[in-house]
Amino acid sequence: MGPQKTFSRNPSRHGGAFKRTHHSSRNAGYSHSPHPQHSSYRPRRGSSGGFHRGGVAPKRGGRRGAHIDISKFINKTVITEEAEIFTPEFLFKDFNIQEKLKQNILAKGYNEPTPIQDRVIPHILHGKDVVGIANTGTGKTAAFLVPLINKVLLNPSEKVIIVAPTRELAQQIDQELKEFVAGFRIFSVCVVGGAPIGRQISSLRYQYNFVIGTPGRIKDLIERKCLNLSQFKSVVLDEADRMLDMGFINDMKYMMALMPKERHTLFFSATFSPEISALVKDFLKEPIMISVKKQDTAAGIEQDVVRLRPGEDKVEVLHNLLIQPDFKKVLIFGRTKHGVEKLSVALVKRGFKAGSIHGDKNQGQRQRALDLFKKGVSQILVATDVAARGLDISGVSHVINFDIPESYDDYVHRIGRTGRAGNKGKALTFVG
Ligand code: ADP
Ligand code: MG
């Protein structure tokens, strides 16, 4: 009892399996407004891919926040099961794995499986293709190593290839594997760039069950005919999202094409995007999709983007949102002190009850603006990130990112001002 690393029973962790990824075609819901001006607000086109790269993220020199994937501002693309408090269904000793493997797992100090391990290990043991989505640091490595080691114990001629995006990750997986198979006749070869290829080539002449490597080096070894993927019946693509980010898509396709058609394919990633979904469709057969992703943002916050047409007046678009009846208590974020002040003045001129808080105001002015907003005397508070740190205001109906936040952390922090204490809230981010 009382393991030092407690992954389980952590109420902040959410678990759940999902069968399919839905690209919701539901619009944001503001379009049914009675006001004629609202035509200038166009909810995201939601019919297919969910988000559109081109023309969305402004690429102007070093524009802050432009590197944040727009899909992160929309939370309708992937639907996961309701959040729940995690209680592992299994203990390692309950899994249908060899006794000596259980002993090595315990010797490594793992008592209870982490959520992703708990959910995926039984399916992998059954030979199913699996997609596992879980945040980094949640034990994905053992989630695939444990059942695959068991497979090799049952059939010593079984070969497994594990592909990871970086050398360090491949080496880390190899290290963990070596600990799990200590004392067994199971061998691995780690094939990564930056290390002498000669040694890797000679290792591949001996008996092995696992090859763990990075895409570039694996491809190199295939081309040199030192590695024959047709002998591998199991493959793991670890950190698939990072492999995509790093431009390994073609290498992945190349490798998968050389694998036997009848194979066991496992796919692990920290995020699930339309690109990942496309790969899953190409590479896996009737996969079991499991997501135990802890949600980055409160579940009760509906998030969407507001796209601006070229030449469209941003304040005008904002105006048309603010006059809608459900925009009762609106916190608007701007990037600079000057921009925030300018926007709040413009809104007051347009007849809105708006205040502002930013670093150019003294403490008394800031407190007054905040109080008026808290009491509901003013409908709108325009703020900079710094001024809004830690603010706990009840009943904020909407957070509007008039300027894109500098980082995703800032984004999460901003939108966390709404949807508090289990209430529903909406977050809109101006893009384009
Ligand atoms: P991920 O691949 O999801 O980023 P890792 O597999 O690298 O995560 O695991 C993160 C850390 O958690 C590692 O230090 C690992 O040894 C530890 N760990 C994994 N599973 C367990 C477990 N069941 N119990 C305790 N520690 C674990
Ligand atoms: Mg990992």
In the chain, where the domains are located: 35-79+299-431, 85-291
pLDDT average, residue stretch 287-303 = 73
pLDDT over threshold 50, residue 133: yes
CATH topology of domain 85-291: Rossmann fold (3.40.50)
Atom of ligand 1 nearest to the CA of 176: 16
CATH number of 35-79+299-431: 3.40.50.300
Please, what is the Cα angle at 156 between 96 and 186, to 5 degrees? 90
pLDDT of residue 367: 80
pLDDT over threshold 70, residue 99: yes
pLDDT of residue 273: 80
Rounded CA-CA distance 426/352 in Å is 20
Average pLDDT, the chain: 80
pLDDT over threshold 60, residue 105: yes
C-alpha 328 to ligand 1 mean position (Å): 45
Q: Which of 80-89, 188-197, 218-227 has the highest mean pLDDT?
A: 218-227
Question: Residue 116: nearest ligand to its CA?
Answer: 1
C-alpha 316 to ligand 1 mean position (Å): 50
C-alpha 268 to ligand 2 mean position (Å): 8
Give the 3-state secondary structure of residue 98. coil
Q: Is the beta carbon of 108 within 6 A of some atom in ligand 1?
A: no
pLDDT of residue 340: 96
Q: Do domains 35-79+299-431 and 85-291 have the same CATH topology?
A: yes
What is the sign of the dihedral through the CA atoms of 169, 170, 173 and 175?
negative
Rounded CA-CA distance 257/238 in Å is 18
pLDDT average, residue stretch 348-366 = 89
Name the band, by pLDDT with cuts 50, 70 and 90, for residue 432: confident
Q: Is the beta carbon of 140 within 6 A of some atom in ligand 1?
A: yes
pLDDT average, residue stretch 127-146 = 90
pLDDT of residue 292: 84
C-alpha 163 to ligand 1 mean position (Å): 18
Q: Is the beta carbon of 394 within 6 A of some atom in ligand 1?
A: no
Which of 4-18, 162-176, 323-337 comes out lowest in average pLDDT?
4-18
pLDDT of residue 218: 97
pLDDT of residue 18: 31
Question: Residue 145: nearest ligand to its CA?
Answer: 1
Provide, rounded to the nearest whole percent, the portion of the chain with pLDDT above 70.
76
In terms of pLDDT, which residue wins out, 418 or 228?
228
What is the sign of the dihedral through the CA atoms of 117, 120, 124 and 129?
negative
pLDDT of residue 25: 32
Q: Is the beta carbon of 113 within 6 A of some atom in ligand 1?
A: yes
pLDDT over threshold 80, residue 39: no
C-alpha 136 to ligand 2 mean position (Å): 6
Closest C-alpha among 392, 379, 384, 383 to residue 423: 392
pLDDT average, residue stretch 297-312 = 79
pLDDT average, residue stretch 293-310 = 74
C-alpha 323 to ligand 1 mean position (Å): 50
Q: Is the beta carbon of 142 within 6 A of some atom in ligand 1?
A: yes
Atom of ligand 1 nearest to the CA of 239: 2
CB 430, CB 403: distance < 8 Å: yes
Name the band, by pLDDT with cuts 50, 70 and 90, for residue 360: confident
